[in-house]
């Protein structure tokens, strides 16, 4: 961030901010999301995209006010620390970091899966039945190393070409959708009785599609304008407009792509295994070839390298900043977040992230599995936003807010319920595994507190205990839930939704009442976009 006399320059226009949001959202999700969702939900996948877009929009809006209050790198993982102190803050930062680690490998996998369709001899055998082979893993590893190197040596190599890349990332999906809808549309696919009709696998499959097929992952890029709120012109208007515009415009593109994919599938291919039996390595490119649109297939193969790689490069940097945020909070060694003295790049963080991301790649060497892991981890990370923003209105009511979100009293609890439902719809045991992975941040907190002589531990626990208890309770509900979502069936289908909603509201109320005014004051005085405008909290002194 550039500054003049210690204050941020607000140089990003509203249009540029929205393009940043769109460029972050359109990555590899469009290349495989429609295919994955159709396999899970059939033609009703269209409803899954609509539901997912609405849920993610509500969740994203609760973060816009926080982004304007705390404009900083890695901010998405730090808001809980400012509202509830270090204990909840660590778990939120840990979850945010975990969710970002799997994004560079998923983008590399997307590129390699489309490379497998190239006519070059070396490209053959990169993928078998949707999973990367040894040579495919090697190709993905090379791409991930390139993502690191492009961040290792500079932070601005692609800045000048960002708009052009974003336009390309928007034009190609739209062109693909229009061509398939115009030249290869089979309307009968939407109600093919032999394939099970419009919703062959029921509503449970639609909800699972929302949570795990890549829909949540596809909209995850809404974070970009929030993280740039401190550099945006008139953030009170431009940030929410960028988030709303970015999600709605990308949602329209994704829905058109889903309609195009369902309509372009050859009806005869649905006879054997239905929608769940579809097998594509590079879905849209193969459909284009089947329609004789070789020029479109070539464009798609090129875009499959450009779009995912752009996102992979961005998230290699973003995940390093998230790790740096953990070091700034004092929960990881300072050397991990150390910035290069001239380039300002956290090189040690980049190297550690690469090592862990490669482990994720080798454990989950296909796009579908990685998309499910990223989606659940992202949603767990989103849980703190709705609670933090309302809690800060209670603990820091007199602080100047560049953006005050209207209707927050309704939006925030609805967002928390939506996030909880997305966690539940992710199906047991995957959601339980991810929540327990997030809880692995607890030993880090305990070790650091022991080193500090357990200073203020009781205060931290009182403010943040609601979050780990919530994760444990949701893990239990998922394990006992309906069989439609992988549970043991002790909670009937339908009743389980009500239970999740009620439990979510109880923990939402607990979380709001647990806010820490001292943490709020400290965060505002240290990280406000305009420190001169931050008044003292009544009855509080600076910590």
Percent of all residues in the chain with a pLDDT value above 70, rounded to a whole number? 86
> Measured in Å, how far apart are the chain's first and last C-alpha atoms?
26
- pLDDT (mean) for 464-493: 94
- pLDDT (mean) for 347-369: 89
pLDDT for position 526: 54
Q: What is the dihedral of CA 243, 248, 251, 255, to 10 degrees?
A: 180
d(C-alpha 288, C-alpha 302), whole Å: 14
pLDDT for position 344: 67
* Angle subtended at Cα 102 by Cα 372 and Cα 230, rounded to the nearest 5 degrees: 110
- pLDDT (mean) for 374-379: 85
Residue partners of 423: CB distance under 8 A and separation at least 6:
211, 376, 379, 380, 383, 431, 435, 474, 478
pLDDT for position 532: 36
pLDDT, tens digit, 9 for 90 and up, residues 220-260: 888 777 766 656 677 767 788 888 999 999 999 999 999 99
pLDDT for position 282: 86
CB of 212 within 8 A of CB of 371?
yes
Q: What is the pLDDT confidence band of residue 169, given thresholds at 50, 70 and 90? A: confident
Strands 131-132 and 127-128: antiparallel
Q: What is the pLDDT confidence band of residue 7, given thresholds at 50, 70 and 90? A: very low
pLDDT, tens digit, 9 for 90 and up, residues 144-167: 998 888 777 754 444 444 556 677
- pLDDT of 19 strictly over 70: yes
pLDDT, tens digit, 9 for 90 and up, residues 252-295: 999 999 999 999 999 888 877 899 999 888 899 999 999 999 99
More confident residue, 314 or 179: 179
Q: Can you give 27-96 as a three-state secondary structure string?
A: CCHHHHHHHHHHHHHHHHHHHHHHHHHHHHHHHHHHHHHHHHHCCCCCHHHCHHHHHHCHHHHHHHHHHH
| DSSP per-residue letters across 421-482 | HHHHHT-TTHHHHHHHHHHTHHHHHHHHHHHTTSTTHHHHHHHHTHHHHHHHHHHHHHHHS-
- This prediction's pTM: 0.86
d(C-alpha 441, C-alpha 439), whole Å: 5
d(C-alpha 495, C-alpha 485), whole Å: 13
Of 517, 512, 518, 485, nearest to 499 by C-alpha is: 485
Strands 3-4 and 7-8: antiparallel
CB of 112 within 8 A of CB of 351?
no
d(C-alpha 26, C-alpha 220), whole Å: 10
pLDDT for position 503: 97
Q: What is the dihedral of CA 397, 401, 407, 409, to 10 degrees?
A: -30
Rg (the chain; Cα; Å)? 23
Q: What is the pLDDT confidence band of residue 217, given thresholds at 50, 70 and 90? A: confident
CB of 233 within 8 A of CB of 393?
no
Residue 232: φ, ψ to 5°? -95, 145
pLDDT for position 72: 66
CA 468 to chain centre: 21
Q: What is the pLDDT confidence band of residue 48, given thresholds at 50, 70 and 90? A: very high
d(C-alpha 94, C-alpha 381), whole Å: 8
- On whether the 10-533 domain is CATH 1.20.1740.10, my answer is yes
pLDDT for position 381: 82
- pLDDT (mean) for 60-78: 77
Residue partners of 223: CB distance under 8 A and separation at least 6:
24, 63, 76
Tell me the β-bridge partners of 128. Answer: 131
- pLDDT of 44 strictly over 50: yes
pLDDT for position 531: 39
CB of 247 within 8 A of CB of 60?
yes
Burial class (CB in 10 A: 0-12, 13-18, 19+), 186: middle
pLDDT for position 424: 95
Q: What is the pLDDT confidence band of residue 114, given thresholds at 50, 70 and 90? A: confident
- pLDDT of 539 strictly over 70: no
CB of 486 within 8 A of CB of 428?
yes
pLDDT for position 494: 92
pLDDT mean across residues, the chain: 84
DSSP code at position 213: S
- pLDDT (mean) for 309-317: 79
Residue 131 DSSP SS3? strand
Structure tokens at 91: 């778990």
More confident residue, 406 or 13: 406
- pLDDT (mean) for 320-328: 77
- pLDDT of 514 strictly over 80: yes
Structure tokens at 148: 């690191």
Which of 115-124, 232-241, 462-471 ranks highest by mean pLDDT? 462-471
Domain extent listing, the chain: 10-533
To 10 degrees, what angle do helices 29-41 and 294-328 make?
100
d(C-alpha 528, C-alpha 136), whole Å: 45
Which range is least confidently modeled, 101-115, 169-183, 335-349, 362-376? 335-349
Residue 418 DSSP SS3? helix
């Amino acid at each position: 961030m550039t500054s003049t006399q210690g204050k941020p320059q607000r140089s990003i226009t509203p249009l540029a901010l929205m393009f940043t949001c769109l460029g972050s959202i359109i990555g590899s999700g469009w290349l495989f999301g429609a295919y994955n969702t159709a396999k899970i939900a059939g033609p009703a996948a269209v409803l899954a995209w609509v539901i997912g877009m609405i849920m993610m929009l509500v969740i994203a809006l609760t973060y816009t006010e926080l982004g304007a209050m705390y404009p900083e790198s890695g901010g998405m993982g730090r808001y809980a620390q400012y509202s509830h102190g270090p204990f909840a803050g660590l778990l939120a930062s840990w979850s945010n970091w975990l969710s970002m680690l799997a994004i560079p490998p998923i983008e590399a996998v997307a590129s390699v899966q489309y490379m497998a369709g190239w006519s070059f001899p070396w490209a053959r055998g990169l993928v078998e039945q949707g999973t990367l082979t040894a040579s495919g893993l090697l190709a993905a590893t090379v791409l991930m190393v390139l993502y690191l190197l492009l961040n290792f040596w500079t932070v601005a190599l692609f800045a000048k070409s960002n708009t052009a890349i974003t336009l390309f990332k928007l034009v190609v999906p739209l062109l693909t959708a229009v061509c398939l809808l115009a030249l290869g549309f089979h309307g009968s696919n939407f109600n093919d009785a032999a394939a099970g009709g419009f919703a062959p696998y029921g509503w449970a499959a639609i909800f699972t599609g929302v949570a795990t097929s890549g829909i949540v992952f596809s909209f995850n890029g809404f974070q970009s304008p929030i993280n740039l709120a401190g550099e945006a012109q008139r953030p009170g208007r431009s940030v929410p407009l960028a988030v709303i515009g970015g999600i709605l415009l990308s949602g329209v593109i994704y829905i058109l792509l889903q309609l195009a994919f369902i309509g372009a599938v050859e009806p005869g291919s649905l006879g054997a295994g239905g929608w769940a039996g579809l097998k594509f390595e590079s879905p849209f490119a193969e459909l284009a070839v089947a329609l004789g649109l070789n020029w479109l297939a070539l464009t798609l193969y090129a875009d499959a390298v450009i779009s995912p790689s752009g996102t992979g490069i961005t998230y290699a940097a973003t995940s390093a900043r998230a790790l740096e945020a953990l070091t700034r909070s004092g929960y990881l060694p300072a050397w991990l977040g150390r910035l290069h003295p001239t380039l300002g790049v956290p090189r040690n963080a980049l190297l550690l992230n690469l090592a862990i991301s490669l482990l994720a790649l080798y454990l989950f060497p296909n796009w579908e599995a990685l998309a499910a892991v990223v989606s659940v981890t992202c949603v767990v990370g989103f849980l703190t936003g709705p609670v933090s923003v309302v809690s800060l209105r209670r603990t820091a009511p007199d602080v100047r807010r560049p953006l005050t979100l209207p209707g927050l009293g309704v939006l925030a609890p609805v967002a928390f319920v939506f996030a909880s439902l997305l966690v539940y719809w992710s199906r047991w045991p995957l959601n339980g595994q991810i929540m327990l992975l997030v809880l692995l941040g607890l030993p880090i907190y305990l070790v650091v507190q022991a080193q500090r002589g357990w200073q203020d531990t009781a205060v931290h626990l009182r403010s943040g205990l609601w979050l780990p208890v919530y994760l444990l309770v949701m893990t239990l509900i998922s394990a006992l839930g309906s069989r439609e979502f992988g549970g043991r069936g002790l909670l009937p289908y339908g009743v389980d939704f009500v239970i999740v909603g009620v439990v979510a509201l109880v923990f939402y109320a607990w979380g709001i009442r647990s806010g820490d005014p001292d943490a709020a004051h400290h965060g505002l005085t240290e990280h406000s976009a305009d420190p001169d405008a931050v008044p003292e909290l009544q009855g509080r002194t600076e910590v």
